[in-house]
Amino acid sequence: MFAVVLFCIACFAYWCWCRQRAKTAEPPSLPGAWPLVGHLPLFLGDGCKIWNQINYASDHSYDVGGAVKINLGPVTIYFITDPDDCNTIATTCMEKDPVYDVTKPWFGESLFTSRYEVWKNDYKLLSPAFSQIILNTFMDVFNSESRKLVKEFDKHAGKGPFDYFTSLRHNALNVICMTALGVGFTDSNLASDYLHAADSILNTVVERFIKFWWHSPYTFTWSRLKKEQDSYLKILHKMSDAVLQKRKSELFGNTCVEKNIAPGIKFKPFVDILLELSVEKGAFNDRQIREQVDFMLAAGHETTPNALLFTMVLLGSHPDVQEKVFSEIQEVLGEDKDVDKMDLSKLQYLEAVVKESLRIFTVAPAIARRLERDVQLKNYTLLSGQHCFLLLCGLHKHPIWGPDRYEFKPERWFEPSKLPGNLMYAPFGLGRRHCIGKTYAMMSMKTTLAHVVRSYRIKADHTKMRLKYLGTLKPDNDAYYISIEKRT
């Protein structure tokens, strides 16, 4: 009898040990690793290949407890898709992962890249520039620039598929300059050069991260990539310098007109807050101001145009949804009225379309956090010092969304009981360091879509689109082109 009891105790102790070991184990490795180089061969290649591998890792992680590990040579990266684990990391790890360092030649210590200690202070100073009361004053710009876009589209109406992405990007660049950066920008050659340089530098940034031997500044200095990056940086900085110079001469030359947004409250663009804080309190030096402007320019043109592109393709591929959007716009706005802040809250179906589009095509598919200590997740332990990516795209396609998770169904947003919960939807990031431009982006995208859908019937086929990952999600072939017909 004593032997049986002893045996049971031993079995129980072994079971506890196994459970504990599983919990303290790192996430399992993604299948397909090679000796020494690990998963490098899977990721070496263009942005399409990287995007396919991110999806492969994401799908695999669902089957193994919401986390997988990949190795690029000696570099270990965790991909996390479990919603609770993503939340744990986003709320407890406040430092950005060292992967953001590869963008520092461009963005320096901007809000996006800065250390938590610096971020806390800067965020407090700069976040008022994105308060609702300020954003409401941008409605005129959102409307007038949307009307310009509609006019620009006019020459393509009834003439078959056309590339509207370039127009969307130019438009977004104008909008960010005229709102957060407070200047009307007219140099279209510089804008074109800027957009080309921004695309190219993102290619070099992603390539550097994959090719781990260029992580070190010492090896990178001698690389072809460094030379390429330096030439793009010159153009990118030329743009931010031009914006700053223009705004400074307006602001300090007293030619600037401050808008009254309410009795006694003036509308101050983001850049004015930066410049005034630097003059009055010495809070930012010239380099720091330029870095914040550099990121604002990038965030403004690198995100909303992509999201609009995908939304227009989805609308063109789902005529029934498009007609519902059109009816709602007719009901709320009538024939030709500008969109105002009250209208935005009434355009509920359009809002659901944009949310669903960001779920299907998650423009910022991943964010990353630095692991400064071991982090205990539900099933695994992440080891301090490794890279950690939270796959927002993985959250959005998680089986919890149901068997129709790959389908574009804006209606799902009207059935809260069937939605899987807040943690499953995070196109603008998670935790305290989520997107400061979220409301700005939603307001500007809804305004643009209202003007475009009111004017044109869109046709497209999203199934033929190939996608690539270059920090953000982008189309890789011309299958994203849409055709438009004028609505009578």
Q: How far is the CB of 126 from ligand HEM (least distance, A)?
A: 8
Scanning the structure block, which residue is given the tokens 């007293």? 254
User: Which one, 428 or 456, has the nearer CB to ligand HEM?
Assistant: 428
Does residue 18 have a known ligand-binding role?
A: no
Which backbone phi and psi does 78 adopt, to 5 degrees? -100, 135
User: Which one, 107 or 380, has the nearer CB to ligand HEM?
Assistant: 107
| Euclidean distance between CA atoms 452 and 450, whole angstroms | 6
Scanning the structure block, which residue is given the tokens 């009361």? 133
CA distances from 156 to 312, 451, 454 (A): 15, 16, 16
The closest residue (CB) to ligand HEM is 437
Site of interaction with ligand HEM (CB under 6 A): 96, 111-112, 123, 176, 180, 295-296, 299-300, 303-304, 307, 363-364, 367, 427-429, 433-437, 440-441
Q: How far is the CB of 442 from ligand HEM (least distance, A)?
A: 8
Q: How far is the CB of 3 from ligand HEM (least distance, A)?
A: 57
Which backbone phi and psi does 282 adopt, to 5 degrees? 60, 30
Scanning the structure block, which residue is given the tokens 């089986």? 399
User: Which one, 51 or 156, has the nearer CB to ligand HEM?
Assistant: 51
Which backbone phi and psi does 432 adopt, to 5 degrees? -65, -30
User: Which one, 42 or 363, has the nearer CB to ligand HEM?
Assistant: 363
| Euclidean distance between CA atoms 90 and 367, whole angstroms | 9
| Euclidean distance between CA atoms 63 and 82, whole angstroms | 11
Query: What does 39-107 look like in DSSP terms, one character per residue?
Result: THHHH-S-HHHHHHHHHHHHHHHHHTTSEEEEEETTEEEEEE--HHHHHHHHHH--SBPGGGGGGHHHH
Q: How far is the CB of 53 from ligand HEM (least distance, A)?
A: 20
Q: How far is the CB of 114 from ligand HEM (least distance, A)?
A: 8
The DSSP code for 7 is H
User: Which one, 112 or 408, has the nearer CB to ligand HEM?
Assistant: 112
User: Which one, 446 or 451, has the nearer CB to ligand HEM?
Assistant: 446
* Strand duo 366-370 + 259-262: pairing: unpaired
Q: How far is the CB of 183 from ligand HEM (least distance, A)?
A: 15
List binding-site positions for heme: 435
